[in-house]
Amino acid sequence: MRGKWRLVALAVVLVPSSLLALDAACPPDLSRAGRLSTELRDSSGGILNVAVTSDGFWRLRPRMDGVAPLYRSLLLAREDRWFAWHPGVNPLSVLRASWQVLRHGRVVSGGSTIAMQTVRLLHPEYHHARNWRGIPAKLLEMARAVQLQAHLGREGVLALYETLVPMGGNVEGVRSASLIWFGHEPDRLSREEASLLVAIPQSPTSRRPDRHQEAARRGAAHVLDIAQYGKPDSSAAIWPDMRWHRFPAFAQHLTARFGRDAGPVETMLDRHIQSGTEQTILSQMEQWSGSGADMAALVIRNRDRAVLAYVGGGHYFGSTGMVDAGMVDMVRAIRSPGSTLKPFLYAMAFDHALAAPDTLIADVPLQASTYAPHNFDHRWHGDVTARRALQWSLNIPAVALLARLGPDRFLAALRAAGMTVRLPRGATSAGLSLALGGVGVRMEDLAALYAGLASGGIMAPLTLRRDGRTVENGRLCSASSAAAVLDSLRDTSLPDGVAKPERPIAYKTGTSYGFRDAWSVGVSPLYTIVVWSGRKDGSPRPGAYGLTASGPVLFRLFDLLPPEAPLTVAAPERRGRLGAGLARLGQSVMAQGPRILFPPKGAVIDSSEEQPVDLRVEKGKPPYRWMVDGRTLPGSFPGQSPVWTPSKEQDGPGFHRLTVQDSAGRSDSIDVRLMVEAQDVAAQ
């Protein structure tokens, strides 16, 4: 007798222990439920975009309390009346089904509970396998159902079922089905809609709503009859219009950025601004149809770096003539920034007392070792203030400042501020071309740095998600230098046809070497916008400048934003001249170098007879090189005499810049005026 009690006691201990060990060794596999469609949401929670899962389904998890209670009432009435009482398997249903099999030799009614059906949904491969049938498979399914409900509880099992239940085609889950078949969230299901969503899973193919509406309606009527809700009116007026409702398709590149199976992604995007930005870009691209040109843009809120609009390109699925080019996200692509890094260079130069906004810098031909930059218009402007040099985006002053500041110091500061900077292939350190865009950067980093200028020089990465935290990367420059740079850029010339905006906008353009990238950046007190245009394959677009290709779109995008109050705080005023170190590359070069004796500054020259003009120079170190508007004159080489014969073809009436450069790279420039005497007499 004692031996029997010992066996019983041993069984009482071993059986639960064995079950617990088995449960720990073989926990429920919920991986399929974790593969949810990436669902991009705007700042208000609305859907912007949805992508299919990696296994090809539209699968959305219902939001908390996001399913109408009527649906669950109908579901349990049809599928599992004793759901609230059993542990995952209904013993009475199992006994009934077993008795019917023994009596009739076939399955008359199933004994599956919601938990058992959910197990099959989690493992569809078992359900469809030929060798996975019969009593052993059913017993394992029942064990898994009990295990699943023990782990998740009844609410957890229902949530899984509502996420995975097949709803026709590649639609899975109650929420996906409600949005696709009815066009609204499942918290607003009508009686007929709820009954349809209960009926479709019983035969997802033959009751697919957009193909077999009558069969779906008959199934729904049967559900209502079983649930004792009464048979619905057969008139079509009470039934929903069951057609495929497409999901919104905003921010395709951002959706792809989060990858497949990411589930709900709460972003900072503003639906109105995102939609308007996409429409504006597509409208501009229609004018470029057939050129292969594309466009991308970011709209940022400065105070928290929130991304309000994200457009990585105009046509995600292509139409620019390049295979798969549409899917390239230009917000993240590495491209040359052109002149858009110059404001940060000037801000750092102001901080290091190398210059101030009113400092005079010599914009003259410059030879720095083997590097001889020139301005974009191939002209020189003599003494200009740093403020004016930045507004005009002159290259020589920027290179001179970088030479004094140090390219590696500037590069390190950019990287410390969070910018990814890629050096040219084979380069191990930065060179002076860094000032003119001789590196690769990302649009998102450029936007973050400009938003940092609006925040007093404090740098931080962009915020894409609502649950993201803004982490500061430190300062790139002082608040006073940032304000001085922005104040200078507010007087930059606007694109043709663009009226002066009501809001204060600091504006900078950039055009990369070979016309491969055309940039426009605008910074207002509250917002920063960056616009890029070009070809995604990096091929040139001759004549596409930042000012003309991207500038007009930038100001149209600012018109989408809420109005801002006028700027009332002026930038601090700084005055001064270049330090002695920088003078070697700048202003003092003119004092120590050559000086033009003839023609005199401001001379008026009659060019009607195309006679040669006498050219004379003093000081400096010969041989000399003479240039007119950046064009080297004949005879400007050792052993030759320079000759300038103004011609109507090359040198029309008006002012021209005459420059002489000695062998040490020092130069002098003057402006002269060419006139045609006959025309001037007639005009009088």
Query: Among all residues, which ones are annotated catalytic?
Result: 79, 339
DSSP 520-559: EEEE-SSEEEEEEEE-TT----TT--IIIIIHHHHHHHHT
Kind plus residue range of the DSSP H or E element containing 257? helix 252-257
Q: Name the helix (H) or strand (E) containing 628.
A: strand 625-628
Contact 309, 464 (CB under 8 A): no
Judge whether 57 and 38 are in contact, CB under 8 Å: no
Burial of residue 561, with CB atoms counted within 10 A of its CB: 0-12 exposed, 13-18 middle, 19 or more buried: buried
Place of tokens 């803004």: 470
**DSSP secondary structure letters along 426-447:** T-SS--GGGGGT-SBEEHHHHH
**Token pair belonging to 213:** 């509406």
Omega of the bond leading into 397 within 30 degrees of 0 (cis): no
Per-residue DSSP letter, 421: -
Residues 478, 461, 506: CA angle, nearest 5 degrees: 55
Whole-number Å distance between alpha carbons of 165 and 198: 10
Total Cβ atoms within 10 A of residue 210: 15
Among candidate residues 508, 490, 347, the one with its CA nearest the CA of residue 437: 508
User: How remote is the C-alpha of 498 from its chain's centroid?
Assistant: 26
Contact 87, 149 (CB under 8 A): yes
Lookup: tokens for 435: 């000032």
Provide DSSP, 300-344: EETTTTEEEEEES-S-TT--SSSTTGGG--TTTSEE--TTTTHHH
Reference 368, options 454, 298, 435; nearest CA is 435
CA angle 439, 441, 444 (to 5 degrees): 165
Collect all residues with Cβ–Cβ distance below 8 Å to 655 and sequence separation of at least 6. Answer: 671, 672, 673
The alpha-carbon radius of gyration of the chain (Å, integer) is 37
Q: Tokens 């002209």 appear where? A: 379
Three-state DSSP at 604 gives strand
User: Residue 208: CA atoms inside 13 Å, Cβ hemisphere, count?
Assistant: 10
DSSP sequence for 69-99: HHHHHHHHHHH-TTTTTSSSS-HHHHHHHHH
Q: How many helices and strands, by DSSP H and E, does the chain display?
A: 22, 23
Cα(112)–Cα(97) distance, integer angstroms: 10
